[in-house]
Amino acid sequence: MANDFTSNVPIYIQIMNEVKLKIVSGVWEAGQRLQSVRELAVEFSVNPNTMQKALSELEREGLLYTERTAGRFVSQDGAKIKKARDEMAEEYTISYYNLMKKLGYKEEEIIYVVSSRLSDIEKGGLENE
């Protein structure tokens, strides 16, 4: 999974966000053992030190934990995972809102655009991703 990293955000933060998304969306399940740092670095096409930094930061946030001889695992703390999910949703919502305001949309128009797109998605008219 080679990633297309942007230059304005440090790569380790972009990796953190990608890993966090995998955790909060359930792609990586609570308690799941992760691949080794080297294997993940290859998968993300980054230096192992960069991957290690990203994973260490996620450990500090409580989304990952390490068992000395067994490896690194996704947290089993559902409350922490839910909190991270809610925080990501809030960040994306604020980012979207700010972009729409820059485009000149008023709040009512933003609500209309979102609700009409959701309606289209439910009807199968637009891609969900």
Of 8-12, 77-81, 98-102, the range with the lowest mean pLDDT is 8-12
pLDDT above 70 coverage of the chain, percent: 93
pLDDT tier, 119 (very low <50, low <70, confident <90, very high otherwise): confident
Confidence tier at 4 by pLDDT (50, 70, 90): low
Percentage of the chain exceeding pLDDT 90 = 80
Contact at 8 Å (CB) between 63 and 30? Answer: no
Q: Read off the pTM.
A: 0.80
State the average pLDDT over residues 32-52.
96
| Contact between 47 and 30 (Cβ < 8 Å) | no
Q: Spell 46-65 as b/e; 16+ CB within 10 A means b.
A: beeebbbbbbbbbeeeebbe
pLDDT of residue 29: 97
For residue 7, what pLDDT is reported? 77
With bands split at pLDDT 50, 70 and 90, how would you rate the model's confidence at 110?
A: very high
Work out the pLDDT band at 43, boundaries 50, 70, 90: very high
